[in-house]
Amino acid sequence: MQTPFLPHTDDDIRQMLEVLGVSSVDSLFADIPASILFKGRLLLPSAAAEAEIKKELLLLSQKNKDADRFVSFLGGGSYDHYIPSIVKHLAGRSEFYTSYTPYQAEISQGLLQIYFEYQTMICELTNMDVSNASMYDGATALAEAVLMAYNVHGRKKVLICGAMNPETIQVLKTYTHNMDISIEIIPFLDGTTELSLLKEKCKEDIACVLVQQPNFFGCLEDVFEIEKITHAAGATFVVSVDPLSLGLIIPPGDYNADIVVGEGQGLGNEMNFGGPLLGFFAAKKEFVRRMPGRIIGETVDKEGKRAFTLTLQTREQHIRREKATSNICSNEALCATMATIYLSWLGREGIREVSSQCAAKAQFAAGLIAKNTNYKLKFSAPFFKEFVIESKKSAAQVNKALLENGILNLIDLGRFFPQLKNNLLVCVTEKRTKEEITRLVEVLGKV
């Protein structure tokens, strides 16, 4: 039974108002716009025993449609990859179980070694010279890359290859909202950047060109041609990459990327209802003193033994504010620790195997779906683990049928791109079995 929530007596409230120096409870909330202010009394259940509340919360949690009980073909930046038990087992140790920055870091030699190994692995994956010890997420890492390019060149224009995650673009616009930076999005053609238009727009006033590889639709961009166009104008070439794709496709360092960022959630981290995530940031060595965040280095202690230290930390808490490259303070150190354990466990061959399975299973799923005349593959460009299907039925109808059959909804691309109404993004990771893919195809066929 619902009862009014009245935790205090009138005398209690009166005394509180006197201490605060305000005349009424309403005046406490005067800054909240009337249009969003809750009116009425908050109704909560009456008091219950701990065991009863625990049972109630368990029943509520069972209403969630999660990736443990439903099959997930969701992509778009957060992925259902397999996480080996060793990741949680080691990362859950008390000495690691914090995502906060150590302020007396050299005392924590074990943590510094983990972050050093993390940086090394990111550099090996991307074939870049230097990496920092993690960022908040892939979107903010890309925004920091833009700010870095802006500070390097002093140029004020940014070009974005249009098949980039639209939510990442929103984060970038938020970061640059109060800055003298203009952003232009280059349209996509058949799922990838319209190169002729990029070439036309990329002039000597451009600070940087941003491209996602594979892009938001899962398609592989012609990064070699984009690099030529970018550097011909003297701009910085920034690539946002899926790290697990690098077991199979060419790393950004091989096509002369200047800055490489990305979302590292797939490296041993759960989807976690959308966060926390893990941003990585790597660059050519000439940019090392302009990079945000922290860089861990290897040295020797006073006894000549191998040791680790914070080589660079160009954040405003540590150096003069006007010299700081970024105001990033904490980071995702726990998520970076999990990524380090995951990559150590996989090794080179393991990463290659995960990448290969993702690509092969995605091709298998796309081939089966395309046999149904109610669907077609939207784009002809090569793809990695994600692809777009166009449906003759509405995206809402398709997703309703999927959910009723134990499959989580696909991303409706019409939310972001009006021209892609009733187009859906399908992602196939190494976790998906032949039976699950076949079930997806069967359900789609019955819509």
Characterise 422 by phi-psi region: left (phi > 0), alpha (psi -120 to 50), beta (else). Answer: left
Q: Are strands 279-283 and 192-193 parallel, antiparallel or unpaired?
A: unpaired
Q: Per-residue confidence at 1, pLDDT binned at 50, 70, 90?
A: very low
Helices (H) and strands (E) in the chain, counts: 12, 17
Q: What is the pLDDT of residue 314?
A: 64
Q: What is the pLDDT of residue 104?
A: 67
Q: What is the pLDDT of residue 9?
A: 66
Report the alpha-carbon distance of residue 23 to residue 100 in Å, rounded: 41
pLDDT in tens, 181-197: 999 999 999 999 999 99
pLDDT in tens, 245-287: 999 999 999 999 999 999 999 999 999 888 889 999 999 999 9
Residues 52-63 have a mean pLDDT of 92
Cα atoms in the Cβ-side hemisphere of radius 13 Å centred on 408? 20
Lowest mean pLDDT among 9-13, 34-38, 159-163, 169-173: 9-13
Q: What is the pLDDT of residue 98?
A: 62
Q: Are strands 157-161 and 206-213 parallel, antiparallel or unpaired?
A: parallel
Lowest mean pLDDT among 9-13, 127-131, 309-313, 432-436: 9-13
Q: What is the pLDDT of residue 390?
A: 97
Q: Per-residue confidence at 2, pLDDT binned at 50, 70, 90?
A: very low
Characterise 190 by phi-psi region: left (phi > 0), alpha (psi -120 to 50), beta (else). Answer: left
Q: Per-residue confidence at 5, pLDDT binned at 50, 70, 90?
A: very low
**Are 259 and 132 in contact, with CB atoms under 8 Å apart?**
no
Report the alpha-carbon distance of residue 117 to residue 120 in Å, rounded: 5
Characterise 40 by phi-psi region: left (phi > 0), alpha (psi -120 to 50), beta (else). Answer: left
Would you state the structure tokens that stand for residue 398, as one six-digit string?
Answer: 């398709």
Q: What is the pLDDT of residue 145?
A: 96
Q: Per-residue confidence at 14, pLDDT binned at 50, 70, 90?
A: confident
Global pTM value: 0.87
Would you state the structure tokens that stand for residue 110, as one six-digit string?
Answer: 């074990």
Give the domains, in start order, of the chain with CATH numbers. Answer: 2-59 (no CATH), 85-343 (3.40.640.10), 348-446 (3.90.1150.10)
> For the chain, how many residues are written?
447
Q: What is the pLDDT of residue 3?
A: 40
pLDDT in tens, 397-432: 999 999 999 999 999 999 999 999 999 999 999 999
Q: What is the pLDDT of residue 236?
A: 97
Helix (H, G, I), strand (E, B) or coil at 390: strand
**Most confident segment among 263-272, 304-313, 331-340:** 263-272
Report the alpha-carbon distance of residue 366 to residue 355 in Å, rounded: 17
